[in-house]
Amino acid sequence: MNVTVDLDRQARAILRSNDRGGYTVPTAGLYPYQWNWDSAFAALGFAVFDIDRAWVELETLFSGQWANGMVPHILFHAVDEGYFPGPDVWGTHGHGPIASSGISQPPVAASFARRIYERDPVAGEARLRALFPMMKAWHGWFIKHRGESGAICVTHPWEAGRDNTPDWDQAMARIDASNVGEYQRRDTSHVDADMRPTKYDYDRYITLVNFGSSHDWNEDVILKDGPFRVADPTTTFILLRANRDLKALGDDLGLDTDEIAGWIERLEHGARSLWNPEINAFDSKDLRSNEFSNCVSNASFLNWYAGIDEPRLQPTLERVWQAAKYGIASYDPQGPHFEAFRYWRGPVWAIMNTMIGIGLAERGFSDMADKLRVQTAELIAEQGFAEYYHPQTGKPAGGGTFTWTAAVWLIWASPNAGKV
């Protein structure tokens, strides 16, 4: 069988095997629930071969939306003792229709809903009309509760999706985790501990969960007193892009999009406030200390995906890219905190390559976009559908048979994928 055709088949099989009836898990064991941005990638992957199932994935994700508009980063559809922290630790009872976490994740859903809709507008119109106000309410929640600096901040490292990136080290160091208490992690029973965040990190993750839970996830209290509040390029750039796509969808449906246009303008200014001239890159900024993290990460290069050109960034991209064989490392391989196998402190992630590549192509950098796509395709073809990879050797790491890596293959990396 042709290698590409076989990988196409494998990718579809992974999506099917991780399907739990209306939603997908990222991978069995390690991540047994529905994760927000993982699920949106899954929806786009399903759209390649099952458009109805794609819409169902998004509809299930938004079935857990809170009354204030927030869409949680985890929906606990069924109890699984193999994951920590579960719904009892989060303490979000009464906030949403489904047991969930108390934070969100980068809002890629509207951008992917646009692409699903464009595959079959006739079949998708009614479903899009139903989802549109939910997506708008979620975007509005980010603007209201995370957007005071113009850029979008996160109140927990998990909210950015880049859990242990060095971006957070300074802010995490200021968190008092002395009263975190005893707990038992489950992730390291599935994956080598050297590939996961450290206990130091987890003590602070759980401290932040306990803070939110103890204040019943009151956003006013979290804004005023929350110990972690960092403006994040991941969420800022992704929300800016998502608002552009949401506005295009609203315009196509004949809806009023003036408020969304205002959000776009606000986020364009806010995103530029994350430019750190000391490192010639977009960077995270601790809003408690007003200090940049001084970290070049793969999130630094999502500006093109968001529709923002920055010529000063191109030499930085070239330098970081040259240090990794398979795309853009999650943290600068020449930086002082680089760890090639530890989650978001060095490995390459196919989803980030994809968004960076899409952005480069759309802004006219077709040669770089093609190079990045080919490198990602070679990585998956050689090493399988892993969660993430060593940036120089390509060795797979984290979970295997991973949903969003399979989706990336189908929508972008595969020679059969076509344009996204």
* Residue closest to 18 by CA, chosen among 416, 404, 408, 417: 404
Helices (H), 226-345: 233-253, 258-272, 314-322
| Whole-number CA gyration radius for the chain | 20
What pTM value is reported for the model?
0.97
Q: Looking up tokens 């509005």, which residue turns up?
A: 140
* Residue closest to 41 by CA, chosen among 327, 353, 331: 353
Q: Give φ, ψ of 324 to 5 degrees.
A: -135, 135
Is residue 44 within 8 A of residue 116, CB to CB? The reply is: yes
Take residue 351 and report the two structure tokens written for it: 């989803």
Per-residue pLDDT of the chain (420 residues; tens, 9 = 90+): 588 999 999 999 999 999 999 999 999 988 999 999 999 999 999 999 999 999 999 999 999 999 999 999 999 999 888 899 999 999 999 999 999 999 999 999 999 999 999 999 999 999 999 999 999 999 999 999 999 999 999 999 999 999 999 999 999 999 999 999 999 888 887 888 888 899 999 999 999 999 999 999 999 999 999 999 999 999 999 999 999 999 999 999 999 999 999 999 999 999 999 999 999 999 999 999 999 999 999 999 999 999 999 999 999 999 999 999 999 999 999 999 999 999 999 999 999 999 999 999 999 999 999 999 999 999 999 999 999 999 999 999 999 999 999 999 999 999 999 544
Q: Amino acid identity of 254?
A: G
How confident is the model at residue 420, as a pLDDT?
Answer: 42
Q: What is the DSSP string of 72-85?
A: -SEE-SS--TTSSS
How confident is the model at residue 159, as a pLDDT?
Answer: 98
Q: Looking up tokens 């806010």, which residue turns up?
A: 270
* Residue closest to 379 by CA, chosen among 419, 420, 409, 399: 409
Domain ranges of the chain: 3-71+104-171+219-413
- Tell me if the domain spanning 3-71+104-171+219-413 has CATH number 2.60.40.350: no
By annotation, the residues acting in catalysis are 163, 387
How confident is the model at residue 80, as a pLDDT?
Answer: 87
Contacts of residue 310, Cβ cutoff 8 Å, sequence gap at least 6: 275, 282, 303
Is residue 238 within 8 A of residue 106, CB to CB? The reply is: yes
How confident is the model at residue 418, as a pLDDT?
Answer: 58
Q: What is the DSSP string of 339-367?
A: -TTSTTSS-B-HHHHHHHHHHHHHTT-HH
Is residue 269 within 8 A of residue 150, CB to CB? The reply is: yes
